[in-house]
């Protein structure tokens, strides 16, 4: 279904080079990011009260090609069941190999666009090491050239900015390692989306027709839609709503932590936050691409998830907020992310007043 080798070579060829930096400067940036990640974990656990096991997910400081390869590995893992189904259906078709190459180029182009934009990422699909039963799996990626590029663009203190970025990304690592069921839950939901993909030709044709109409409406400003929306069958939308809710929680919780640790640790945190918020607002053709690729929806996950976490924290404190990690049943729904009072009423019901 996808020529992954071609995807990587296409992305590597198209991706923009990183910022100019000396060999010594690059080595110093990598070393400081590793140190910031180690420091950030302690700040995150102290602030949230979440306890991580002794064996935890590794931290990798990578360049843009390294980030591309890691995401190709993740995509390959996610799409293997669907790829097997497509391969079985296409085994007698002369178009099978051509389709894989075309898709490989498309995936490579997409990754080349995203690679300069990502500062860090927790990869929950990376398997734990064999023989290490306590290893929860997953890995944290910090993209060094992108961190350096953005700190220069914003003209902020590099040491403060690197720790600020690590606070966000380390929060994700703590979430997945302190909550043992979370990784399997998220992977299971994503696997279910893939498993329910409709390969019927008539259904795909109708979805493409609907997609063209919805993209036209989106570009005219009549509605908002991303490519991700277009590949969902009706059976998948309910699952995607659950994934959207949990991703909003994870991103909002990380936003809460990175700002909550505060100026005692990062003196210029308010300046960094103000400048970074302005940077997130894309304009022109980049804004269209961000909308179609679902990146605007990602920005809403930060905003909505952060508002949910702050509202719950104000109402019931950190221990009350941490009830979200009890089980899949205590995770907020998409409606509860939008209205935290719904989650509070379900998980922290108030006793009835005496009559």
Q: What is the pLDDT of residues 243-269, one digit of tens each?
A: 889 989 999 999 999 888 878 899 999
For residue 157, what is the DSSP state? -
- C-alpha 156/C-alpha 300 separation (Å) is 25
Which phi and psi (to 5°) does residue 5 adopt?
-65, -45
- C-alpha 324/C-alpha 248 separation (Å) is 12
Q: What is the mean pLDDT of the chain?
A: 81
Q: State yes or no: pLDDT of 4 exceeds 70.
A: yes
- Model confidence, pTM: 0.81
Considering 147-156, 258-267, 291-300, the range whose residues carry the highest mean pLDDT is: 147-156
Q: State yes or no: pLDDT of 231 exceeds 60.
A: no
Q: Which domains does the chain have, with CATH numbers?
A: 4-197+233-346 (1.20.150.30)
Assign 347 a pLDDT band (cuts: 50, 70, 90): very high
Take residue 199 and report the two structure tokens written for it.
Answer: 């390969």
Q: pLDDT of 43-64, one tens digit each?
A: 999 999 998 887 678 899 999 9
- C-alpha 259/C-alpha 267 separation (Å) is 11
* Chain center to CA of 252: 11
Q: What is the pLDDT of residue 241?
A: 85
Take residue 166 and report the two structure tokens written for it.
Answer: 């690590």
Assign 190 a pLDDT band (cuts: 50, 70, 90): confident
**% of the chain at pLDDT higher than 90:** 49
Q: What is the pLDDT of residue 45?
A: 94
Q: pLDDT of 204-216, one tens digit each?
A: 445 545 554 554 4
Name the packing angle between helices 158-178 and 144-154 (round to 10°): 130
Q: pLDDT of 87-124, one tens digit each?
A: 666 555 555 556 678 888 888 998 998 899 999 999 88
Q: State yes or no: pLDDT of 131 exceeds 70.
A: no
- C-alpha 324/C-alpha 309 separation (Å) is 10
Q: Among 183-187, 203-207, 294-298, whose mean pLDDT is lowest? A: 203-207
- Paired strand residues for 142: 61, 120
Cβ atoms of residues 165 and 276 within 8 Å? no
Across 320-344, average pLDDT = 96
Q: State yes or no: pLDDT of 336 exceeds 50.
A: yes
Q: Regarding predicted confidence, which is higher, 27 or 297?
A: 27
Give the CB-side neighbour count of residue 192, counting CA atoms within 13 A.
15
Provide the b/e sequence for 325-344 (b: ≥16 CB within 10 Å): beeeeebbbbebbeebeebb
- C-alpha 55/C-alpha 94 separation (Å) is 48
Comparing C-alpha atoms, which of 40, 194, 51, 48 is closest to residue 122? Answer: 40
Across 191-213, average pLDDT = 58
For residue 222, what is the DSSP state? S
Q: Regarding predicted confidence, which is higher, 53 or 80?
A: 53
Which phi and psi (to 5°) does residue 52 adopt?
-95, 150
Q: State yes or no: pLDDT of 218 exceeds 90.
A: no
- C-alpha 282/C-alpha 288 separation (Å) is 9
For 240, residues 6+ apart whose C-beta sits below 8 A from its C-beta are: 193, 228, 232
Assign 288 a pLDDT band (cuts: 50, 70, 90): very low
Q: Regarding predicted confidence, which is higher, 108 or 199?
A: 108
Q: State yes or no: pLDDT of 236 exceeds 70.
A: yes
- Paired strand residues for 140: 59, 122
Q: Regarding predicted confidence, which is higher, 139 or 292?
A: 139
């Amino acid at each position: 279904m996808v020529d992954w080798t071609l995807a990587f070579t296409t992305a590597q060829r198209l991706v923009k080079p990183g910022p100019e930096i000396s060999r010594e400067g690059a080595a110093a940036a990598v070393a400081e990011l590793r140190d910031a990640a180690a420091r950030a974990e302690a700040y995150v656990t102290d602030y949230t009260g979440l306890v991580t096991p002794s064996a935890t997910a590794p931290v990798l400081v990578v360049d843009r090609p390294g980030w591309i390869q890691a995401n190709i590995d993740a995509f390959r893992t996610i799409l293997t069941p669907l790829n097997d189904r497509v391969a079985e259906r296409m085994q007698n078709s002369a178009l099978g190999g051509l389709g894989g190459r075309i898709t490989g180029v498309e995936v490579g182009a997409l990754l080349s666009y995203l690679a300069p934009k990502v500062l860090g990422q927790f990869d929950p699909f990376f398997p734990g090491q064999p023989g290490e039963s306590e290893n929860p799996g997953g890995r944290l990626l910090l993209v060094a050239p992108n961190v350096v590029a953005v700190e220069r663009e914003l003209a902020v203190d590099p040491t403060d900015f690197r720790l600020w970025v690590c606070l966000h990304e380390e929060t994700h690592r703590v979430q997945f390692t302190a909550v043992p069921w979370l990784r399997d839950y998220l992977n299971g939901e994503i696997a279910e989306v893939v498993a329910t993909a409709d390969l019927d030709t008539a259904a795909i044709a109708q979805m493409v027709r609907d997609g063209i109409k919805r993209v036209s409406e989106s570009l005219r400003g009549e509605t908002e839609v991303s490519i991700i929306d277009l590949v969902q069958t009706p059976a998948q939308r309910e699952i995607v709503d659950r994934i959207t809710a949990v991703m909003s929680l994870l991103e909002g919780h990380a936003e809460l932590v990175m700002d909550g640790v505060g100026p005692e640790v990062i003196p210029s945190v308010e300046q960094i936050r103000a400048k970074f918020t302005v940077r997130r607002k894309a304009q022109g053709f980049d804004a269209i691409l961000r909308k179609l690729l679902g990146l605007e929806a990602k920005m809403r996950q930060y905003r909505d998830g952060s508002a949910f976490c702050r509202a719950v924290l104000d109402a019931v404190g950190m221990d009350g907020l941490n009830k979200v990690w009890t089980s899949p049943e205590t995770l907020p729904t998409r409606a509860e992310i939008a209205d935290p009072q719904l989650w509070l009423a379900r998980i922290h019901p108030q006793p009835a007043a005496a009559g």
